[in-house]
Amino acid sequence: MLLKRKRYKQVRVPGGYRLEHRLVMERHIGRPLLRTEHIHHINEDHLDNRIENLQIVSIAEHNAIHRKGKPLSSELKQKLSLAKLGVQKTTETRMRMRQSKLKFSVEQLRDILKQVESGVSKAKIAAAYGVARTTIQNVCRGRYYDLKSVL
Ligand SMILES: [Zn+2]
**Residues 11 and 51 occupy one common structural domain:** yes
**Residues 82 and 123 occupy one common structural domain:** no
Question: Has residue 145 got a pLDDT over 90?
Answer: no
The model's pTM is 0.45
**Residues 96 and 106 occupy one common structural domain:** no
**Residues 9 and 58 occupy one common structural domain:** yes
**Residues 95 and 138 occupy one common structural domain:** no
Closest by CA to 52, choosing from 41, 66, 62, is: 41
Whole-number percent of the chain with pLDDT over 70 = 72
Closest by CA to 73, choosing from 62, 61, 84, 81, is: 81
Ligand 1 center–CA 85 separation, angstroms: 33
pLDDT in tens, 52-72: 999 999 877 887 787 765 566
**Residues 38 and 93 occupy one common structural domain:** no
**Residues 93 and 107 occupy one common structural domain:** no
The per-residue pLDDT of the chain, averaged, comes to: 80
Instruction: Find out whether 39 and 22 touch, Cβ atoms under 8 Å.
Output: yes
pLDDT in tens, 67-106: 765 566 777 677 777 766 766 667 766 666 666 666 677 7
Kindly report the number of other CB atoms within 10 A of residue 46's CB atom: 17
Cα(50)–Cα(44) distance, integer angstroms: 12
Ligand 1 center–CA 39 separation, angstroms: 6
**Residues 121 and 150 occupy one common structural domain:** yes
Q: Which domain holds residue 87?
A: 72-100
Ligand 1 center–CA 135 separation, angstroms: 27
Task: Among 40, 66, 92, identify where a domain stops.
Answer: 66
**Residues 39 and 80 occupy one common structural domain:** no
Cα(35)–Cα(59) distance, integer angstroms: 9
Ligand 1 center–CA 61 separation, angstroms: 9
Ligand 1 center–CA 118 separation, angstroms: 30
User: What's the pLDDT at 139?
Assistant: 80
Ligand 1 center–CA 70 separation, angstroms: 13
Cα(93)–Cα(88) distance, integer angstroms: 9
DSSP SS3 for 40: strand
